[in-house]
Chains A and B, each alone.
Chain A
Amino acid sequence: AQKVTQAQTEISVVEKEDVTLDCVYETRDTTYYLFWYKQPPSGELVFLIRRNSFDEQNEISGRYSWNFQKSTSSFNFTITASQVVDSAVYFCALSELIYSSASKIIFGSGTRLSIRP
C-alpha cells in the first residue's frame, strides 16, 4: 500500500531563514509520481512540483529546491531565505499507477509552516 509521512506537524521560523520540510513515502510500485502542494489560508491547492520516480535529479526553482532520494524513500523540500508569504500548509503526495486512469493522489498529513517577520 502507498503511504506518505510528513513527521513535522508545524514549523515556525523567522523570515530569511532556510527551512526544510521532510517527506518519506512507501510504495510497492517501481513507477510513481511524487508531488508537493502548497495550501494557503484560502484553501486552494497550489501545485509546486511533480517528480517522476525515474528522475532522481534534484530540482531548484527560485527559492525552492527539492531533494529526491530513492534509497531513503524521501522527497524533501527546502525554502531558502523564507518570506512571510511562504506561510501555508505544505503537502507531500504520491501517485501510483501513473499510466492508469485509476491513478489517484494520496496526501501526507501536511506541515504547517509559519514564517515570522
Chain B
Amino acid sequence: GAVVSQHPSRVICKSGTSVKIECRSLDFQATTMFWYRQFPKQSLMLMATSNEGSKATYEQGVEKDKFLINHASLTLSTLTVTSAHPEDSSFYICSARDRGRNEQFFGPGTRLTVL
C-alpha cells in the first residue's frame, strides 16, 4: 500500500505554454499534499503545501500565480506551471500525507523541460 503516482513522468513543452502535473494517492486518502522542486544536482526544495478543499500555502519566494495548485479531492492534487520558461525546467516531486497514518509518501517525480 501507500502508492503515490505522478503524471506525466516526463514532459517537454515550448516556452510560454502551461503544463499540468497530477499527483494521486492510489490507495489512501491524503488530506495534505506537498510539492517539491529539484534542480540538477541540488536538493529538494518545498514549494507549497496543499490541503484538500482549501488554498495552498506557498513557501517564501515561490510565485503562487505561476505555480497554481489545486487539491480538489482526497486523492488528487495538481500543479500547473503557467507560462513556463526554460528556468522552470526541473524535477517536480509530490508527496502525500496519509490521512489514516502519520506518514508521507513520495511520488516518482515529473521531469519538466521547457524549450
Contacts and interface: CB of A to CB of B under 8 A. Distances in A.
Interface in B44-64: 44-46, 49, 51, 57
Nearest to A35: B104
Contact of B95 (A50, A91, A105): A105
A55 interface: no
B34 A109 contact: no
Contacts of A54: none
B102 A91 contact: no
Contacts of B91: 43
Contacts, number: 47
Chain B interface, >50% SS class: strand
A12 to B, nearest CB: 15
Given A98-B102, A102-B32, A102-B49, A44 B97 contact: no
Contact of A108 (B31, B43, B111): B43
A104 B34 contact: yes
Which range holds the interface residue count of chain B? 20 to 34
Contact of A91 (B31, B41, B43, B51): B43
Contacts of A37: 106
A45 B93 CA distance: 9
Chain A interface, >50% SS class: loop
Which range holds the interface residue count of chain A? 20 to 34
A101 B51 contact: yes
A39 to B, nearest CB: 9
Interface in A89-115: 91, 95, 98-99, 101-110, 112
A34 to B, nearest CB: 13
Contact of B111 (A43, A104, A106): A43
Given A98-B102, A99-B102, A104 B46 contact: yes
**9 tightest CB-CB pairs across the interface, nearest first?**
A44-B108, A45-B106, A101-B32, A107-B44, A109-B43, A43-B109, A107-B43, A110-B43, A101-B31
Interface of B: 31-32, 34, 38, 41-46, 49, 51, 57, 91, 93, 95, 97, 102-106, 108-109, 111
